[in-house]
Amino acid sequence: MSTLTPAKLTTANVTPVTNPATDEKLYEVTHALPPEVDAAVARAKIAFKKWSGETALKRSRVMFRFLELLNRHREELAAVITREHGKTLDDARGEVQRGIEVVEFACGMPHLLKGEFSENVGTGVDGYSFRQPLGICAGITPFNFPAMIPLWMFPLSVACGNCFILKPSEVDPGASDLIHRLFMEAGAPENVLQVVNGGKEAVDAILANPDIAAVSFVGSTPVAQYVHQTASQNGKRVQALGGAKNHMVIMPDAPMDQVVEALMGAAYGSAGERCMAISVAVPVGDETADRLIAALQERVAKIKIGPGTEAGVEMGPLVSRKHRDKVCAYIEAGEREGAKLVVDGRKAPAASEKGYFLGGCLFDNVTPQMKIYQEEIFGPVLSVARAKDYAHACKLVDDHPFGNGVAIFTRDGGIARDFAQRIQTGMVGINVPIPVPMAYHSFGGWKRSLFGDVHMHGMEGIRFNTRLKAVTARWPETMQAEFTMPVSK
């Protein structure tokens, strides 16, 4: 179900979709009201009866055709992302690729759903288990990855035999609309995947509907916590991924040229609008910190800003004027609290008079008490928090309320191994600035970066989208009543 509408509509339940590089209004998206969400669920309930009964191989063939179409239309999909979100075309292409990799993983569902079998768990008794679909699942996705995160959610779910309701961000829903059309073209039955657009009303309708068995969410921590609490209270299985404040620890022995290159991409790529962006650099020792600031200062000031479609552009606009203003408010707060603003992105040459552009910002001498350290800014702002030694650096990471991702750059294998084992964070990079696992592993953080127990995609994704059934079977010629707990003899 697509609810994209022409720009001429002006009713209260629509959101304008804007090109953030030009401030041009592209179209308006109509918000689904609760009765429309419930109607979509009712259609999915009917579709589930047949879809769940199909063989895993038949569902896999739909996924293979979908994979082929995604590869054929990847440039079109990347262009939609850049037009509505603002990230550079190269970055959008990378997003599409990471989403496609989850579809590739989902194509192997006949193997992934294989159960376990134990012969003769008792005399003449066999035990086996298998996984079955939940029913109807739903996904609520953010603006920053309008293609990748939907592709992280629904392909595994539907390949497991579920039907899926996708509610994309109302800021940039065009990618989800195109993905839905490609999925239908791949031969998916009607209503196995449906897209409903909207804001909080649509979200609340999803959380309240009793026929939705599981909800996946990616977004800010306050909303993730709300989704988890509300959906859990309504008896649903929930994975709700929240905010992040990802640190990069830089040991004195780390090659500074590699560190700087890694930070430039990890902190300022996609204008910092990534849950895996590095937003805090933690150099160990003042000498390391001074070298880092000296190397970064010139590079950050020279980031090429402009529309994501222009060749050579390194950073596009932020997604909206409202979000740019929010990021600027954080910059002002950092200055008030005493952090040293080494590079002020607000003074960068404007690439467009109407676009939502902001240059890269670099703060030094940031302390844990500051707002810019504690909260997720979600913009092109890198804070440098100096650590006295390795133990102090680890304490900074572990004491932070978020625990999504972390990286360490060092030449010392012993330090790297100790760091990976001790650090209280869900995803760790060793000389890798953005440690996003591949599709056949699972993605998720700790602490206030994840609400729920199960991570996304990989085998965790299979477990989230199915439930285990265990069977104990015996085929005796005669049977006598047993009044004690059965045990293996």
Query: Residue 123: what pLDDT?
Result: 86
CB-based contact 407:246 (threshold 8 Å) = yes
Tell me the CATH architecture of domain 4-242+449-471: 3-Layer(aba) Sandwich (3.40)
CA distances to 89, 94, 319, 453 from 272, rounded to whole Å, are 16, 15, 11, 27
Topology of domain 246-430, per CATH?
Aldehyde Dehydrogenase; Chain A, domain 2 (3.40.309)
- DSSP label of 189: P
Starting at the edge strand found earlier in the chain, the sheet holding 278-283 runs 340-343, 361-364, 381-384, 278-283, 246-250, 405-409, 427-430
pLDDT digits (tens, 9 = 90+) for 56-74: 999 999 999 999 999 999 9
At residue 13 the predicted structure's pLDDT band, cuts being 50, 70 and 90, is confident
Average pLDDT for residues 183-206, to the nearest whole number?
Answer: 97
**CA 16 – CA 150 distance, rounded (Å):** 21
Which residue is it, tokens 């970066």?
449
Query: Residue 1: what pLDDT?
Result: 41
Query: Residue 2: what pLDDT?
Result: 40
DSSP conformation letters of 322-353: HHHHHHHHHHHHHHHTT-EEEE-GGGSPPS-S
User: Do 4-242+449-471 and 246-430 have matching folds?
Assistant: no
**CA 447 – CA 400 distance, rounded (Å):** 9
CA distances to 27, 134, 153 from 457, rounded to whole Å, are 32, 16, 7
- DSSP label of 262: H
Query: Residue 488: what pLDDT?
Result: 61
pLDDT digits (tens, 9 = 90+) for 331-347: 999 999 999 999 999 98
pLDDT digits (tens, 9 = 90+) for 433-476: 999 999 999 999 999 999 998 999 999 999 999 999 999 999 87
The torsion of the CA quartet 373, 374, 378, 382, rounded to 10 degrees, works out to 10
pLDDT digits (tens, 9 = 90+) for 96-110: 999 999 999 999 999
Q: Which active-site residues does the annotation give?
A: 275
Domains in the chain: boundaries: 4-242+449-471, 246-430
